[in-house]
Each structure stands twice: as C-alpha cells, then as structure tokens.
C-alpha cells in the first residue's frame, strides 16, 4: 500500500490500541489503528518497590528496573511499568497509587497526544506520512513542525450551529445552521423533526468541526443520536466543576467532546473571544494538546503540556505530584526577594504626544536570555546560572515559542492592515502571547510540576533592574517618564510627536537591556486616572487614550470589567469614540457636547424600552457557596432564585441577572419570564452616567487647563 499523507486531526485510545484520524491529501477522513504501549515509573523505598512489582506482574504489565533523571534530584533508580493497552492505564495507576501512596510516580498522567508527539516526532494538526497495512499503522513520519510560520492550512469542514437566543434568557425557537455557502435556520419544534434534519446534515456534510454556541450546556446534551464520526465511541461528557485558581473560585461548565471530529462551544471555550478558531488551532499546534482540550483549558494548561513535552523529549521524568517546596528564608531575605514587578506611579492628568514603549514578552525573554529554570542554582535571589552552557528545561520550552511570536509580530508590522492575512496572523500572535503571559506565573505556581518560587523571584528581580535601566536611558536622552508598569514605559519629550521620533530611544534601550522592545504607539493624548476613593492617588493600570491613527486604548475602566452590562459598556465606548475624533487636546472640548448627547440619547432609549434585554444583563461570579453569604450580593440573590427554581449552582459559577425594582432587586436569567416593566431603569441610567463620568472627570480638568492657557 502506498504511503498516506495528510494531517493528523484526532487520536484517542481504543480498548486494545490507539485510534488515529487522518485528513488525507486525497480528501478522505481515514480511521487508522496503531499499537501504542505506555510506560510509567515509580521510585522510592526498595521494599515498597518490590511489593509494587509483585502487584503489577500479574496484571499483564511489562516490568523493568531502569535509571532515569529527575529534574531536581538527578539520577534515580526506578521501576518501569509498560502497559500494552493505553486505555487500561488510568484504572491501573489509580489502583497502584492507592495501594502504595508513599512511592513517587512519574509519567503516569501525561496526556496521550504528548506521548505520541514525543515518540513519533509528529503531533496533532501536523502533516505526516504514514505507512500502513490495511488500517494498521506500521510507521509514521512527521512532515512539518509546529514552529513553522506558514503551516499548510488544513482544509477543515466546519459546521456552525447557533440558537436565535441565549437559552439562559428564554427557550430558543430556531437554530441557525451554516456550512460552506449554506446558511439557513431550522425550527426546534417539533424536536424530533429537528433532530432528523440535523442528523441528516451532519451525515451528509461530515464536518471535521462542529462550532456551536451553547453546544456544551444546551444543544448536544439534548440530542438522542450519536454525533461522533467514530460510531463505535459514545460522546464524552464532562461534568461542570468549581476550582480555585489565581486567587478566585472558577467554574467550568459541563463539556461535550466528540471522537473523530471536534466540537467547540464558543460560549464555553477559554479565551475564544480573544483569538477565535485560528488562535485555538495555533495553541493546539504548539502545545501538542488536542483542539477540543485546548479550546476549553487555560493557557496555563498549555504551558504545562509544553513543559511535559520538553521533558519527555529530553529524558526527564514528569512527576505526578510536585515534590519541591520553597526554600527557607529569613525575613530579610523574603523582603528583598519577594517584590514583584516594578511600578512607577503615573502622573495624574491628561498628557499630549506620549509614546508607550513595551518590552516584547519581557518575562519570557528574561527566562530565556538569562537561562532561568527551577533546576538551576546560582547567586542569591537569582535562582539561575547566568550564561550556563546547559539550557534549562524552561528556556528550552519557551525559546521556540518566543521566537515564533516575535516573528509573527514582525510579519504583522510589515503587512498592510487591510491585507487578508493580517487577521489570521493577529489571532495566532495573540494565542501565543497568552501562553507566554502565563508561563511566568506557572514558574512560581505552587502546583506546577516544574515550578519553583525562587526562579519566579529571579525573573522579577531582573525585570526591575531592566526597567530602571530603560528609565535611566530615556532620561539621559531628554525624555520625561510619565509612568512605568511592569514591562512598559510611557514617555514624553517636546518635539517628539511621530513614531519615528522615538526610534533612537528604542534602539538605545534595546542595546542597554538586551531585551527586544517595541513601540506600542504614540498617543495624541492619554489620561491617567486617579483612584475613585482619593483623587490625589494615581492608579497604575487605569487610563485611556487615543493613538495617532485614532485607535482607542483603555485599561481599568468600566469597559474592561466583566460585570459591566453591555448597555453601559456601549455608552462609554461611544463617548470615547466620539472624543477620539479630536486631533489635539484643544479640540477635545468641541466634541464634549456631542458626547453628552450620546449619553442622553442612550438614556432616552432605555426609558422608552427600546434597549434589548440582552444589553441589560449583568454577569457576576459567585465567590462562595450561596449559603455562605451574610449579606447576599446581587449574584447571590440571583443564585437563590436558581436554587428555588430547582437548578444547581456552584461556587465560581457566573450568574446572569437584570436589576429590577423592589425585592429581591434582581431577576435571574433563565428563571421564568421577566416583566420588562419592573426593570430598574434608574439604576442603569446611574451606571451609564457614572461610566461617562469616568471620562468627564479627566476631561473637565483638561478643559480648565486649556481655558487657563496651560500647555500640557
């Protein structure tokens, strides 16, 4: 049989072997099978290992004694257990670890796609050549790399499904179906007829991806037919769960996974709104995880997967449980080490012709350039051997990722923004950015397999020094530094108004620090806002401004808050867009009457009942169990309505509600019908005027200064 070439789009364990789906160059979707034994390791007390040996030898496991490398402790003698059938590993390991909890275990919970990529050199979404006899894989060869800037696009067949309304607000009546050039809606009633029509569409079109809205939580759980491409597999459903991450309780909705084809729920996918399908595919390509998995997981899971893949490829054991704790420190050492990033408070007010200069992926660049990795030892507080000949596991993982993102950014800078390739490049660069953003946090995360707080502290220590060097360089060249925040500077100098005027400064900073730096843009004007509680105190990451090309940038205002209702966000954005028309500070006051009219018109529309209900919905996260609230927040009151209606609620879950008059003051979306006459219109008007006031507060000062003849 001639070799098969194409893209590997899915893999998963069968009862006896591994199933592979190939999107062949011929256009066929082929199901292949491959023998794929899996090895995991145990280490510890010799007598316990002997007992574990006896436990495993009667279970069809191939056993051996080997010497393997632990990243932190070095060479270890381990018990190697090879399982012929991948599907049997989870249950076997659960039994073993329960029977022998004192042993250290390695490589036992590594995701199957990562094992496949490490062993074969090719991974999911990669092009490959497969030698097969019938449907049995004899050999597989990778034909590309996840680090290619221009991977050959996969000719995916995508089926989009979206209801006519959010099911949490009211029961949908119709479903929009879109694929290729076909675009139509179908009634959901009677449901049996709807199912027959949808089943026929899936069977006829045979999509590689079902891209849905509310598919995880509403549509797919209701279907009575099997939407898998592999009919031998049942749909995989994962229950909703709450977990603690980054200082808050997070709720992950139920999920529906398919076999042989993918399912992504755009409303239940992590950061899908940031970078879309192109970004998800890019993250899956570089992390090695499956598309369905990567779409729903955080970028932190992606970074962990990349570290595991580096470990597998370099012969490093992947611990099931992190074994390293923070080293003991005196109080003085802790104070000197644990300072975080550098923040130079902004000068409150509105400033003209300000350049924002950003270090390109500063923390990852430090980790790569200074070879910072948890297994390294070095000077106090650095946690790294600067210039060490042997590159650490973390820099090995990050270097290609960092280089690829910088290359994509350079290519974007060279493209005309109207170029059809720009949107895809921007999405891919954003997806890689998120992986790089979280890599620093995972270096110090308490549960990270390859994390250590001393390395985390080393990065911030070096970053503070580099930012101070950048500040000194700017001041030596006559610039005023208005603000510094972690990895960026806002600078101003008389006579410097265009991007080219700041080029000498960029070159000088990059030469001084050795870290790539870029001009985010030059603001016509930018406003640094004070604290709401005390107008004398600046807030580091609360500002808005307009670049020379008219693009608006904002941080820390209502527009950026997840709990701001769309109505209020739209009002504030419209005000900013109106003021962005001013070419200079002096012209801003000419636009204020029009901006005020925008707010007044929006409020009139609200009073007249012409604002869609969806624009009034507020989303807030439950920080604890409903019964734990002494003084229930609006979200907790909405959750109580859900519970009273027989629905389940969990900590971290996002509640959606509308403010209403009288008690309980909210209507929980999805609980009965809302009488729109009860909407608390006055409260929404106050919220919109407060959001507009965030802008007026800065600009009133501006108008006064311009009127008094001051030049900023």
Question: What are the sequence ranges of the domains in the chain?
Answer: 4-142, 336-390+450-556, 562-712
* Beta strand pairing call for 127-133 and 136-142: antiparallel
Coil, helix or strand for 634?
A: helix
Kindly report, residue by residue over 136-168, the tens digit of the pLDDT: 999 999 999 999 999 999 999 999 999 998 887
pTM for the structure as a whole = 0.87
Return the number of other C-beta atoms located less than 10 Å from residue 327's C-beta.
10
Kindly report, residue by residue over 333-380, the tens digit of the pLDDT: 666 666 778 888 999 889 999 999 999 889 999 999 999 998 876 443
CA 168/CA 699 separation, integer angstroms: 40
Per-residue pLDDT, 246? 57
CA 257/CA 11 separation, integer angstroms: 13
Burial class (CB in 10 A: 0-12, 13-18, 19+), 498: exposed
CATH level 2 (architecture), domain 336-390+450-556? Alpha-Beta Complex (3.90)
Kindly report, residue by residue over 661-689, the tens digit of the pLDDT: 999 999 998 888 888 899 999 999 999 99
Kindly report, residue by residue over 90-104, the tens digit of the pLDDT: 999 999 999 999 999
CA 261/CA 293 separation, integer angstroms: 13
Fold category of 4-142 in CATH: DNA Polymerase; Chain A, domain 1 (3.30.342)
Q: Was domain 562-712 assigned CATH 1.10.132.60?
A: yes
Cβ pair 271, 434 in contact under 8 A: yes
Residue 184 C-beta-side C-alpha neighbours within 13 Å: 7
The rounded Cα 290 to chain-centroid distance in angstroms is 15
The better pLDDT of the pair 401, 244 is held by 401
How does residue 383 score in pLDDT terms, banded at 50, 70 and 90?
Answer: very low
The kind and range of the H/E element at 504 are: helix 503-513
DSSP 535-590: TTSEEEEEEEEEETTS-EEEESSGGG-TTS-HHHHHHHHHHHHHHTT-SSHHHHHH
The better pLDDT of the pair 625, 393 is held by 393
* Beta strand pairing call for 262-265 and 209-212: parallel
Q: Is the pLDDT of residue 42 over 80?
A: yes
């Amino acid at each position: 049989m001639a070799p098969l070439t194409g893209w590997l789009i899915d893999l998963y364990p069968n009862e006896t072997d591994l199933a592979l789906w190939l999107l062949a160059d011929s256009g066929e979707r082929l199901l292949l099978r491959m023998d794929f034994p899996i090895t995991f390791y145990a280490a510890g007390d010799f007598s316990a290992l002997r007992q574990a040996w006896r436990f495993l030898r009667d279970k069809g496991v191939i056993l051996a004694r080997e010497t393997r490398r632990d990243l932190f402790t070095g060479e270890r003698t381990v018990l190697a257990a090879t399982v012929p059938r991948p599907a049997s590993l989870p249950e076997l390991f659960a039994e073993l670890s329960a029977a022998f909890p004192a042993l250290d275990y390695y490589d036992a919970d590594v995701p199957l796609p990562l094992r496949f990529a490490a062993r074969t050199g090719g991974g999911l979404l990669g092009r490959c050549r497969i030698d097969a006899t019938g449907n049995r894989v004899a050999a597989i060869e990778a034909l590309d790399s996840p680090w290619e800037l221009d991977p050959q696009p996969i000719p995916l067949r995508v089926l989009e499904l979206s209801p006519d309304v959010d099911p949490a607000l009211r029961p949908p009546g119709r479903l929009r179906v879109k694929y290729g050039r076909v675009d139509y809606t179908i009634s959901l009633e009677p449901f049996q007829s709807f199912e027959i029509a949808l089943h026929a569409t899936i069977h006829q079109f045979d999509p590689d991806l079902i891209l849905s809205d509310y598919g995880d939580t509403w549509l797919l759980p209701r279907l009575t037919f099997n939407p898998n491409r592999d009919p031998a597999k049942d749909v995989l459903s994962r229950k909703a769960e709450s977990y603690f991450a980054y200082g808050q309780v997070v709720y992950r909705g139920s999920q529906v996974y398919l076999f042989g084809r993918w399912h992504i729920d755009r409303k239940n996918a992590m950061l899908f709104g940031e970078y879309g399908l192109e970004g998800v595919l890019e993250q899956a390509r570089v992390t090695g995880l499956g598309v369905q998995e990567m779409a729903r997981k955080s970028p932190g899971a992606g970074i962990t997967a990349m570290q595991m893949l580096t470990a597998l490829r370099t012969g490093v054991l992947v611990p099931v449980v992190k074994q390293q704790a923070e080293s003991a420190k005196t109080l003085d050492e802790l104070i000197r080490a644990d300072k975080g990033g550098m923040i130079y408070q902004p000068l409150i007010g509105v400033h003209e012709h300000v350049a924002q200069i950003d270090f390109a992926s500063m923390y990852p660049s430090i980790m790569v350039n200074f070879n910072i990795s948890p297994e390294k030892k070095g000077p106090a507080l650095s946690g790294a051997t600067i210039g060490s000949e042997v590159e650490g596991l973390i820099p090995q993982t990050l270097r290609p990722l960092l280089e690829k993102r910088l290359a994509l950014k350079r290519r974007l800078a060279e493209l005309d923004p109207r170029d059809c390739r720009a949107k895809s490049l921007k999405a891919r660069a954003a997806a890689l950015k998120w992986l790089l953003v979280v890599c620093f946090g995972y270096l110090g995360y308490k549960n990270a397999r390859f994390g250590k707080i001393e390395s985390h502290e080393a990065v911030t220590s070096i970053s503070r020094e580099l930012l101070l060097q950048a500040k000194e360089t700017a001041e030596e060249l006559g610039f005023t530094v208005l603000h510094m925040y972690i990895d960026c500077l806002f600078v101003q100098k008389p006579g410097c108004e265009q991007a080219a005027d700041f080029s000498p400064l960029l070159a000088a900073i990059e030469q001084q620090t050795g870290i790539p730096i870029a001009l985010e843009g030059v603001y016509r004007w930018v406003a640094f806002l004070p604290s709401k509680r005390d107008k004398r105190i600046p807030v580091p990451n609360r500002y808005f401004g307009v670049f020379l090309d008219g693009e608006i940038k904002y941080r820390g205002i209502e527009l950026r808050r997840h709990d701001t209702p769309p109505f209020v966000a739209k009002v504030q954005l419209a005000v900013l867009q109106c003021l962005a028309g001013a070419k200079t500070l002096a012209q801003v006051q000419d636009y204020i009457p029009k901006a005020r009219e925008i707010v007044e018109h929006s409020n009139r529309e609200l009073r007249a009942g012409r604002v869609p209900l969806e624009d009034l919905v507020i989303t807030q996260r439950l920080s604890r169990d409903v019964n734990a609230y002494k003084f229930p927040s609006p979200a907790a009151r909405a959750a109580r309505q859900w519970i009273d209606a027989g629905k389940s609620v969990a900590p971290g879950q996002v509640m959606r509600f509308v403010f209403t008059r009288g008690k309980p003051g909210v209507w929980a979306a999805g609980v009965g019908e809302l009488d729109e006459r009860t909407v608390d219109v006055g409260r929404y008007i106050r919220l919109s005027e407060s959001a507009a006031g965030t802008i007026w507060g800065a600009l009133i000062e501006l108008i006064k200064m311009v009127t008094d003849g001051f030049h900023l």
